[in-house]
């Protein structure tokens, strides 16, 4: 739209016509206070905090609903305005409790800030305040009614943003209150968006309330460990008896790819880390079949000795390695390097939730064809095939809804179930469960494969008319189906693709070569020359056993050892425990999972919130993971792999790149002063020394990854600054090798489950229970 020029507080400003005055001011650093206005939600004009004086208008105007106009002259901070705002706050405080010392919002409360700013702390009212007891609406949502300032943000974010519409207004005028949909409780998606968006402490969170205060915590923005969307979540941690404990997850850092959004898992499901049954000491199985706690060196020595014996007597092909979907890229990379160079085997796999290999193969050599999660929020047209993002990719669902609401995006959905997102769809097509491949053929122009009718024809026509299409598809597509879908997509102009896999780093696991037939970057094992050069080792040339074959080999007695890192294949793939009875099993995990129970050695491992590195979400967005929490007694998987390799007699300098020279502490351990690291390296250089990094430093390994995997050639600076970087799929070199369909096992997670990990979250369990046992409807929340 054309730009208009106007004056605010004597400054000449320009902004596109149609911009809200409050936004235009904010863009140039003029802050207009607002309680009810929230960018991206509908306008409410309920609070009157944003009033400004506009010349030629008789009364004060609300900046949150006024659009800028040519020649407008605006004052934002005059005595008159201050007085009006002060009066507004006085009214808001009329029945507001003096709760600040105990209120969860205290210290980050917008009402507190404004009261402080406009000095309305003394009340003119002498009447006794009306007290109401706090109400629990769900396991995660509590409501303290007198603290509510009726800004309606919660109502709008739940309705417009989440499309849940669980919150509403009861009564009118001074008796108006926020009320939940289930009379006295909430029936909703438990996302906690309403709590996050509440400017005061009226809505509080079940996990955090009354625990601590905002300034008492250390806030670390890291990546959610649950689904494949990779939201940035800010974890508030505080010191506890055995490390740093996470007390809150929220979305203060709205700079992430998820913008405003977090679902229940990113916000509340960090409590597995504090579970009492968490392993903190290595366990070694004794002759009598019982586990006994052992010291780290005993346990590692024991495991390394057995692995070495097996490698020497039976060769690498008798050893299998299973990696994880939630470990960092560096750990995954190191694990495959360890398997291939130290153990000498290609028997390495992980729980595949989708077929990334076929996807990479289909897109080999095509540039700019994969979309970031960010693109899903502004693509003009989207075709969603399979999957149920509301349950499995909540952040994607949020983006799609926002995209429709704010940009009028057109969404076309074909699914075998009536998924919730169909409510935002321009066209929804219900197809049989096995009808995805034929639908793609139909879309590509083959009329004979489906029983076409008017609806399918309209669907196809609409899609083919789109000038730029984002195709998002789920695990329903595997192998050749992906090939066919991509071919169809590429026949349209400007198509981008997204394959939806589960878990925080499934994509990273595939990209980093936790696969029996491909190395990092999907390089086939047979053409591994440059890897062999870099590693200075001979790599096994033949494809190894995949996950299912490993268990078959174990059954027939051909798998002497199995090393499982952060995975629970026994439950996932329904493996009979007897299969592993003659196999030496090493497991690294947080808990004694079903797989760990069958192990000979169990190492207590750290989770994603307790380590640093990078992860890649299912879209290919690479993000930085920062260490937030800490737990005495556990070790990161990275460290464990390195130590195991060391005890097996491997040359560590080849496994993890760390240089000669003196040990360099660039101030990391203390929190370096500005310029300190530079001075330190100048000093080292002047003395002809080279810094020696710790063998446990994952970033040295990231250097190696970036050297060997061209699709990961992104800006390190940007990554460290906290921005997401997109993997470059065009740089993948692969020849297609369709794998067994049954290797792909979608996690089938819902909003409230998260594989084995989710079972250890008390909050998720509580929410699940409350959703399966409907509450009796009692009296209305008055």
Partner 1 sequence: MSIVRNIAAISKGMSITFKEMFQPTEVENYPDGPGPTRGAVLQDRFRGAHVLQRDENGLEKCVACFLCAAACPSNCIYIEAAENTAENRISSSERYAKVYNIDYNRCIFCGYCVEACPTDAITHGHGFELASLNATNLVMRKEDMLVPAVGMPGELAAHSDSVK
Sign, CA torsion 370/374/379/381: positive
Specify the residue, 186 or 599, whose C-beta has the smaller distance to ligand SF4.
186
**x/- letters, 52..81, toward ligand FES (CB under 6 A):** ----------x-x-----------------
- Of the two residues 162 and 553, which places its CB atom closer to ligand SF4 in the complex? 162
Q: Does 209 bind ligand SF4 (CB under 6 A)?
A: no
Considering only the stretches 97-105, 119-127, 332-340, 636-644, report the one whose residues sit in contact with ligand SF4 under the rule CB under 6 A: 97-105
Residues that bind partner 1 (CB under 8 A): 99-102, 106, 134, 209-213, 215-216
* Alpha carbon separation from 181 to 80, 146, 176, 482 (Å, rounded): 41, 19, 15, 42
Contact window for ligand FES (CB under 6 A) among 31-39, 487-495, 537-545, 629-637: 31-39
Give the residue, chosen from 178, 217, 485, 641, that forms a contact with ligand SF4 under the rule CB under 6 A.
178
580 binds ligand SF4 (CB under 6 A): no
Residue 69's φ and ψ, nearest 5 degrees, are -135, 160
Nearest residue to ligand FES, using CB? 64
| Residue span binding ligand SF4 (CB under 6 A) among the ranges 189-197, 536-544, 719-727, 740-748 | 189-197
Q: Could you say which residues in the range 112-131 bind ligand SF4, by CB under 6 A?
A: 112
Binding of ligand FES by 49 (CB under 6 A): yes
Q: Residue 252 has which token pair?
A: 């203060």
Q: Quote the least distance from Cβ 591 to ligand SF4, whole Å.
A: 19
CB closer to ligand SF4, 74 vs 151? 151
Q: What is the DSSP string of 127-176?
A: SPPPP---EE-SSSEEE-GGG-----HHHHIIIIITS---EEEES-GGG-
Minimal distance in Å, beta carbon 34 to ligand FES? 3
Residue tagged 């464990």 (tokens): 640
CA–CA separation, 246 vs 629, rounded Å?
6
User: With contact defined as beta carbons under 8 Å apart, do 395 and 258 qualify?
Assistant: yes
Using the contact rule CB under 6 A, the part of the chain among 184-192, 435-443, 541-549, 675-683 near ligand SF4 is 184-192
Q: What, of ligand SF4, partner 1, ligand FES, none, does residue 294 touch, CB below 5 to 8 Å by kind?
A: none
Decide which of partner 1, ligand FES, ligand SF4, none touches 101; Cβ closer than 5 to 8 Å per partner kind. Answer: partner 1
d(CA 68, CA 74): 10
Determine if 394 is a binding residue for ligand SF4 (CB under 6 A). yes
Contact between 87 and ligand FES per CB under 6 A: no
Task: Indicate whether 193 belongs to the interface with ligand SF4 (CB under 6 A).
Answer: yes
Phi, psi of 345 (to 5 degrees): -140, 150
- Nearer of residues 194 and 360 to ligand SF4, judged by Cβ: 194
Q: How far apart are CA 311 and CA 302, in angstroms?
A: 14
Residue with smaller CB distance to partner 1, 211 or 740: 211
50 binds ligand FES (CB under 6 A): yes
Q: Which is nearer to partner 1, 240 or 558 (CB)?
A: 240
CA–CA distance, 764 with 752 (Å, rounded to integer): 6
- What is the enclosing helix (H) or strand (E) of 487? helix 480-490
Does residue 450 touch ligand FES according to CB under 6 A? no
Kindly give the pairing relationship between strand 495-499 and strand 410-415.
Answer: unpaired
Rounded Cα distance between 320 and 549, Å, is 10
Give me the residue label for tokens 């992860």. Answer: 615
Q: Is 48 among the residues that bind ligand FES (CB under 6 A)?
A: yes
Report in angstroms how near the CB of residue 40 gets to ligand FES at its nearest.
Answer: 14
**Binding pattern to ligand FES, positions 470-509, x when CB under 6 A?**
----------------------------------------
Binding range to ligand FES, per CB under 6 A, among 40-48, 280-288, 324-332, 489-497 = 40-48
Whether 595 and 206 have beta carbons less than 8 Å apart is answered as no
**Cα-Cα end-to-end distance for the chain:** 47
Shorter beta-carbon distance to ligand SF4: residue 64 or 656: 64
H helices of 491-540, in order, are: 506-511, 529-535
Q: Is 615 exposed, middle or buried (0-12, 13-18, 19+ CB in 10 A)?
A: buried
The answer to whether the Cα torsion of 368, 373, 379, 384 is positive or negative is: positive
> Which residue stretches of 590-631 are H helix?
594-597
Contact between 147 and 201 under an 8 Å Cβ cutoff? The reply is yes
CB of 435 to partner 1, least distance (A): 53
Which candidate, 448, 392, 505, 459, places its Cα nearest to that of 746? 392
209 binds, among ligand FES, ligand SF4, partner 1, none (CB under 5 to 8 A by kind): partner 1
| Calpha distance 587→577 (Å, rounded) | 14
Report in angstroms how near the CB of residue 362 gets to ligand FES at its nearest: 49
Question: Which residues of this protein are in contact with ligand SF4, per CB under 6 A?
Answer: 96-97, 99-100, 103, 105-106, 109, 111-112, 141, 147-154, 157-158, 162, 164, 166-167, 178, 186, 188-194, 197-203, 224, 226-227, 229-231, 258, 262-263, 265-266, 394-395
């Amino acid at each position: 739209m054309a730009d208009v020029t106007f004056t605010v507080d004597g400054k000449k400003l320009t902004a596109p016509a149609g911009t809200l005055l409050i936004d235009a001011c904010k863009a140039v650093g003029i802050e207009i206070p607002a309680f009810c206005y929230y960018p991206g939600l509908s306008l409410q004009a309920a609070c009157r905090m944003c009033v400004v004086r506009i010349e030629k208008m008789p009364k004060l105007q609300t900046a949150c609903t006024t659009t800028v106009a040519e020649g407008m002259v605006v004052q934002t901070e005059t005595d008159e305005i201050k007085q009006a705002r002060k009066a507004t706050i006085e009214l808001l405080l009329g029945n507001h409790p003096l709760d600040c010392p105990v209120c969860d919002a205290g210290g980050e409360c917008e009402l507190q800030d404004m009261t402080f700013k406009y000095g309305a702390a003394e009340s003119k009212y002498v009447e006794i305040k009306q007290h109401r007891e706090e109400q629990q609406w769900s396991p995660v949502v509590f409501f303290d009614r007198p603290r509510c300032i009726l800004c309606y943000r919660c109502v709008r974010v739940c309705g417009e943003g989440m499309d849940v519409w669980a919150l509403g207004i009861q009564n009118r005028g001074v008796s108006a209150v926020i009320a939940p949909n289930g009379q006295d409780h909430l029936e909703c998606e438990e996302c906690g968006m309403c709590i996050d968006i509440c400017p005061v402490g009226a809505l509080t969170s079940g996990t955090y309330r009354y625990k601590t205060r905002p300034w008492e915590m250390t806030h670390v923005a890291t990546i959610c460990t649950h689904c494949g969307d990779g939201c940035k979540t800010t974890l508030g941690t505080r010191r506890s008896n055995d490390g740093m404990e996470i007390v809150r997850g929220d979305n203060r850092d709205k700079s992430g790819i998820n913008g405003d959004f977090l679902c229940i898992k990113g916000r509340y499901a960090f409590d597995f880390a504090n579970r009492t049954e968490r392993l903190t000491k290595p366990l070694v199985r004794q002759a009598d079949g019982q586990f006994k706690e052992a010291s780290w060196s005993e346990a590692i020595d024991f495991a390394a000795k057995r692995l070495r014996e097996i490698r020497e007597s039976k060769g690498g092909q008798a050893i299998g390695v299973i990696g994880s979907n939630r470990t960092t890229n560096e750990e995954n990379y190191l694990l495959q390097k360890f398997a291939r160079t130290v153990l000498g085997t290609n028997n390495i796999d992980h729980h595949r939730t989708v077929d990334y290999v076929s996807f990479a193969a289909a897109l080999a050599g095509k540039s700019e064809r994969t979309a970031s999660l960010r693109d899903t929020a502004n693509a003009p047209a989207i075709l969603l095939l399979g999957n149920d993002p509301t349950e499995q990719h909540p952040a994607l669902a949020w983006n799609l809804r926002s995209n429709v609401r704010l940009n009028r995006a057109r969404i076309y959905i074909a699914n075998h179930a009536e998924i919730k997102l169909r409510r935002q769809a321009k066209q929804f097509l219900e197809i049989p469960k096995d009808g995805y491949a034929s639908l793609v053929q139909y879309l590509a122009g083959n009329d004979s494969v489906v029983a076409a009718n008017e609806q399918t024809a309209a669907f196809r026509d609409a899609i083919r008319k789109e000038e730029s299409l984002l195709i998002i598809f789920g695990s329903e597509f595997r192998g050749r189906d992906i090939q066919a879908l991509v071919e169809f997509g590429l026949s349209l102009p400007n198509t981008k693709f997204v394959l939806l896999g589960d878990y925080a780093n499934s994509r990273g696991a595939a990209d980093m070569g936790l696969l029996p037939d491909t190395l990092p970057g999907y390089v086939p094992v047979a053409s591994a020359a440059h890897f062999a050069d870099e590693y200075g080792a001979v790599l096994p040339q033949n494809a190894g056993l995949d996950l299912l074959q490993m268990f078959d080999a174990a059954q027939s007695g051909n798998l002497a050892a199995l090393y499982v890192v952060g995975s629970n294949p026994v439950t996932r793939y329904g493996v009979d425990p007897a299969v592993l009875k003659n196999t030496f099993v090493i497991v690294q995990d947080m808990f004694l999972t079903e797989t760990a129970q069958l192990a000979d050695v169990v190492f207590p491992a750290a989770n994603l919130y307790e380590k640093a590195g990078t992860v890649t979400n299912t879209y290919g967005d690479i993000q930085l993971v920062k260490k937030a929490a800490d737990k005495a007694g556990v070790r990161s998987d990275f460290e464990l792999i390195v130590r195991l390799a060391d005890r097996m007699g491997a040359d560590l300098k080849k496994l993890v790149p760390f240089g000669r020279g003196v040990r360099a502490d660039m101030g990391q351990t203390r929190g370096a002063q500005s310029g300190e690291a530079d001075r330190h390296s100048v000093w080292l250089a002047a003395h002809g020394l080279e810094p020696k990094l710790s063998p446990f430093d994952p970033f040295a390994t990231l250097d190696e990854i970036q050297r060997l995997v061209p699709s990961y050639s992104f800006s390190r600076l940007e990554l460290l600054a906290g921005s997401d970087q997109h993997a470059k799929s065009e740089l993948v070199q692969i020849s297609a090798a369709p794998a067994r369909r049954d290797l792909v096992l979608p996690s089938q997670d819902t909003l409230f489950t998260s594989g084995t990990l989710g079972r250890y979250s008390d909050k998720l369990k509580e929410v699940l229970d409350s959703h399966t046992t409907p509450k009796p409807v009692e009296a209305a929340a008055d």
